[in-house]
Amino acid sequence: MKRPSTVRGNGRAVQLASAVGFVLAMSHAAGAASFTTFVVDGATQTIPWAIDAAGDVAGSWYDSGYVPHGFLRTANGTITTFDPPGATETHVYGMNDNLAVVGSFEDGAGLHGFIRAADGTITVYDAPGAVDGTEIFAINDDNVYGGDYYADDGNGYGFVVNAKGKFKSFGVSGQRYTVVTALNSMGVAAGGDSGDEGLRAFVRSRKGVVTVFDIPGGNDPAVAGINRHGNIAGTSWQYGVNNSGQGYLRLSDGTVTTFQVVPGYETDGYGLNVHNMICGNYYDADGGYHGYIRKAAGGMTTFDAPGGTGSTGCRAINDSGVAAGYFYDSQDVGNAYLRTP
């Protein structure tokens, strides 16, 4: 069974008829926290990638042929599955508090971005000048969204589309590839870039000023989230070195803190909230992986979802501390969970 990996991936509006399923959720007590678990009907894996303030969750689910599709689970337990028209596979990456979901999909013509509104309307988006695919990774509550695309010069560019629909493309100076993977409520974007100067990360102000940064002890950083204070979280690796992954928190003043839950073993940072709480997963000496939540001051809570078999991952956390992730059960089915503190 394949397991999920770290993301390193003039629209037209289409009304899509979604398949709606009601899945029985199970709640479990685990210490001070409770877990609600769910699986999309017929899925071999259900992987959340985003959670909003109300506890709605969006992500991707995989069918028996390991083909990914999108889903939205609202806080009342209703699950809606969807694909953009003509999609052969759908990847969900982000969501805002308006229930707008973003991601990318492939069809016979290539790779495209999409925005799915709360009413189910899907807008297919190809960046102006894109010749080799468009991806959307993030959207904020003002419906500002961003991602990447490849142009006819062979380079990849990051982009941001503002609330009025104005498109802004940019590349980090000296680099051949730039991608926006996170946006905050102020319109500040963050992501990664690569090229002659190696693999680096950046933050771009609302006015377009780009600041490139490195993470100590690593040369291959990924940006997972940026909160309204401009603080950034993610993972940094040493390229090609096993177990080198470190979670990190970079404050808006440039101060960086790195951490591994188990020293010497991989720790990945995925979710960030306004309180600088980070969630992700870490590996142990036996090769299993588990979820964690790190508080701003450094206190760490580790956990396994009930029914998991040494494989619990955390992907997103909201400002109330509710975390969303996945685990594999004894039948090797990937289940989704919500962890409520």
Q: What is the pLDDT of residue 32?
A: 83
- Rounded-to-10 torsion of CA 221, 222, 225, 231: 10
Q: What is the pLDDT of residue 179?
A: 98
Pick the CATH number of 11-125 from 3.10.20.30, 3.30.1330.60, 2.130.10.150, 2.160.10.10: 2.130.10.150
Q: What is the pLDDT of residue 23?
A: 38
Q: What is the pLDDT of residue 31?
A: 54
Amino acid letter for position 73? R
Q: What is the pLDDT of residue 9?
A: 35
Strand partners, 202: 191, 212
Q: Give yes or no for a contact between 39 and 23, defined as CB atoms under 8 angstroms apart.
A: yes
The enclosing H or E element of 281 equals strand 278-283
| Series of mean pLDDT values for 10-residue runs along the chain (341 residues) | 40 35 42 92 98 98 98 98 98 98 97 98 98 96 98 96 97 95 98 94 96 95 98 96 96 98 97 98 96 97 94 98 97 97 96
C-alpha count within 13 angstroms, C-beta hemisphere, residue 154: 1
Q: Which residues contact 282 (CB under 8 A, 6 or more apart)?
A: 260, 261, 262, 265, 266, 267, 268, 289, 290, 292, 302
Instruction: Break the chain into its structural domains and give their ranges.
Output: 11-125
